[in-house]
Amino acid sequence: MTLCEVSVRSRLSTWMFLFLSLGIFLVLAPSASAQRQSQPPPPPPRADTPPPMADANEAQARIATDLAKKAAKERVASLKSDTDKLLKLSVELKQSVDKSDENVLSLDVIKKAEEIEKLARSVKEKMKGPS
């Protein structure tokens, strides 16, 4: 067998493999597409039927969770605001006390101390969370 004969035989066997593969594909492809087309599409949801109870319960639970998250975020924002105000008042109180002498405390110092006390209690209650 010569080199030319080997080359022709390999080409011939390659072409035969391609035609055989193409034939198998053409035979099997219509049956596969027929199987996909035989399944009817799912019916669209009807507008007049109420949602199942499980979906309603899940929706209520989701709404309750979202409201709880929103309330927690608002509580944290309020805590941050109150603690910032508490810090500001504490600094002002210290400055006022530093300005006064050892025998006299001004009425302003006493009012700031009471305001700090009230705000501190409020922050403490908010930190405890909802009851």
**Percent of the chain at pLDDT above 90?**
27
Please indicate, yes or no, whether the overall pTM of this predicted structure exceeds 0.75. no
**Per-residue model confidence as pLDDT tens digits over 6-20:** 565 666 666 666 666
Cα separation, 111 vs 95, whole angstroms: 14
Q: Is a pLDDT exceeding 80 seen at residue 124?
A: yes
Question: What mean pLDDT value characterizes the chain?
Answer: 77
User: Using the 8-state DSSP alphabet, how is residue 1 labeled?
Assistant: -
Looking at residue 102, its amino acid is: E
Cα separation, 91 vs 82, whole angstroms: 14
Q: 87 near 116, Cβ under 8 Å?
A: no
Cα separation, 122 vs 82, whole angstroms: 8
The shares of helix, strand and coil residues in the chain, as percent rounded to the nearest 5, are 80, 0, 20
